[in-house]
């Protein structure tokens, strides 16, 4: 019997985007895969998101952004993560993110972008391989 703790994922909806059905579906898929998921809810500030990552001792930060404001929001989240010392975290972003913007997100620290309609099993598998046990 192994004594490994489940992966802890903080999933948040930054900014004014009020659509969270997809985020809740991802939460359920991650929970069904045995991960602990802390969903912070709608309209979270970058500061609140970074604080949740630290308070929850998260292995993964997931942001769901459908508003088109993914670059400025991720810039703000990256700054807040630096302020609280949450460096090296696996950070995924999901939502309406054009391919042309993905490199800019990677430069901010985003590990992987999952566009709207991504396969849930692919997200689970990615996290299982990206986060060291």
Question: Residue 2's pLDDT is what?
Answer: 52
Contacts of 75 (CB under 8 A, 6+ apart): 108
Question: Residue 32's pLDDT is what?
Answer: 98
pLDDT < 70: residue spans in the chain? 1-3, 133
Let me know: does 92 contact 60? Beta carbons within 8 Å. yes
Question: Residue 1's pLDDT is what?
Answer: 42
Question: Residue 3's pLDDT is what?
Answer: 61
Domains of the chain, with CATH numbers?
Answer: 17-130 (3.40.50.280)
């Amino acid at each position: 019997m192994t004594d490994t703790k489940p992966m802890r994922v903080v999933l948040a909806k930054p900014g004014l985007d009020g659509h969270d059905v997809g985020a809740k579906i991802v939460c359920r898929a991650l929970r069904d895969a045995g991960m602990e998921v802390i969903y912070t809810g709608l309209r979270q500030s970058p500061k609140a998101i970074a604080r949740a990552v630290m308070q929850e001792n998260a292995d993964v930060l997931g942001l769901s952004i459908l508003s088109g404001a993914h670059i400025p929001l991720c810039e703000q989240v990256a700054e807040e993560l630096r302020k609280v010392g949450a460096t090296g975290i696996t950070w995924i972003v999901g939502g309406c993110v054009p391919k042309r913007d993905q490199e800019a997100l990677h430069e901010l620290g985003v590990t992987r972008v999952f566009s709207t309609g991504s396969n849930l099993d692919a997200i689970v598998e990615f996290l299982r391989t990206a986060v060291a046990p």
